[in-house]
Amino acid sequence: MATWSLAALGDSIPAGTACDCTPYPQLSALDLSLPGGPEVTASNEAVGGFTSFDVLHQLSSASAAIDPVKAARLVEIEVGANDVAPSSSCGTDVACYQPKITDLSVNLHDIVDHVHELTAGHAVPVVLLDYWSVWLGGQYAQQQGQAYADAAAGVTDKVNTVIREVAAQTGSAYVDLRAAFKGPDYAYDETHYLATDGIHPNATGHQKIAAALGEVAQKQMQPEGLLHPAGPACCGGGQTIPAAQESVPRRFTGQQSIDLQQADLLAPLASDTMTSEPEKLPVEVSPAQSRWADAHPYLRASASRG
């Protein structure tokens, strides 16, 4: 049977941190493996805690990711949230994060360039995914107060704009995960897609990402003759549910995206209160998150509060 592979690069979202489930890169490979078509395998080279600098270094050194990228016929990249982790110096001042966002734009361009250099022997579609929130999401963000929630939305806007623009400038595909999780107006509550740490997607969230990614990837791969024309098989790809019948926000076709990872939340933010406070949700940290949690003290504090 014919086979081909995809490679995934990025942070703890594609790595599957806090989920104890199959992460979306592997789900998207299943999504693209159809009866009568080639089998697709996934090489997931994403690492929890990675910034765009880390991914760029990964592609610029003798790392284990080089050979899987060289062999890939599709490369999925989701990175940027850790570049703009909340800091004590910036707090909720969105403009303060702009230098890091500028660096992210440069790094993403270089990452895509390196992927194409490594795959110079064959044309490889690149897919960039953005984030529903680059900090805490859903009710977990709201519980930190309105100032935090507004800043999270503002920084996410800037990061996602960079990812979308780099995709357009480099000829890469784009997956709008904010729309996939929160709807076309970003108005839905995405809490049910999140793990108990409030940052990473749960199993349902990874399936949602894989479904959005599968639609975009299929459009990229069918012209290459690598897919059966039947369409995605995994995670509800290709199915349309009338809005009135949906129990959760529907998946949107076309360009789509996602990533979240930081929660170095500041002590001043913890004092912010909401006019109408939602039910408190526990925030848990698994051993698999140890490296990331060490850099984000809020998670440890929240976990200890039970």
- The pLDDT tens digits for 56-115 are 999 998 899 999 999 999 999 999 999 999 999 999 999 999 999 999 999 999 999 999
pLDDT of residue 121: 87
Hey, which residues does 9 pair with through a beta bridge?
Answer: 77
Q: Which residues contact 239 (CB under 8 A, 6 or more apart)?
A: none
Confidence of residue 286 (pLDDT cuts 50, 70, 90): very low
pLDDT attached to residue 249: 33
End-to-end CA distance of the chain: 50
pLDDT per residue as tens digits for the range 11-35: 999 999 999 999 999 999 998 998 8
- Mean pLDDT, residues 271-291: 42
Considering only CA atoms, which of 134, 129, 128 is closest in space to residue 100? 134
User: Between helices 98-118 and 52-60, what is the axis angle to 10°?
Assistant: 30
Q: How far apart are CA 81 and CA 101, in angstroms?
A: 10
Share the mean pLDDT of the chain.
80
Q: Which two tokens stand for residue 119?
A: 């795959």
Placement of tokens 């480099």 in the chain: 170
Structural domain spans, the chain: 3-305
Q: Could you tell me the CA-to-CA distances from 155 to 77, 86, 166, 191 in Å, in that order?
A: 19, 10, 17, 19
- Give the model confidence (pLDDT) of 108-154 as tens digits: 999 999 999 999 989 899 999 999 999 999 999 999 999 999 999 99
Q: How confident is the model at residue 197 (pLDDT cuts 50, 70, 90)?
A: very high
pLDDT at residue number 221:
72
**CATH tag, 3-305:** 3.40.50.1110
CA 46 to chain centroid, in Å, comes to: 11
Residue 39: left if φ>0, alpha if ψ -120 to 50, beta else—which one?
A: beta
Question: Measuring CA to CA, how many Å separate 164 from each of 13, 29, 219, 257?
Answer: 18, 23, 17, 9
For 143, the token pair is 């519980």
| 3-class DSSP assignment, residue 189 | coil
Kindly tell me if the per-residue pLDDT of 287 is higher than 70.
no
Q: How confident is the model at residue 292 (pLDDT cuts 50, 70, 90)?
A: very low
- pLDDT by residue (tens digit) across 227-274? 444 444 456 443 322 222 333 332 222 333 333 333 333 223 333 333
Environment class of 95 (CB within 10 Å of its CB; exposed 0-12, middle 13-18, buried 19+): exposed
Q: What is the pLDDT of residue 291?
A: 35
Tell me what pLDDT residue 1 has. Answer: 65
| Structure-model confidence comparison of residues 279 and 173, the more confident one | 173
In this structure, what are the phi and psi dihedrals at residue 10, rounded to the nearest 5 degrees?
145, -150
Query: Comparing 52-56, 181-185, 299-303, which segment has the lowest mean pLDDT?
Result: 299-303
The H or E element spanning position 33 is none
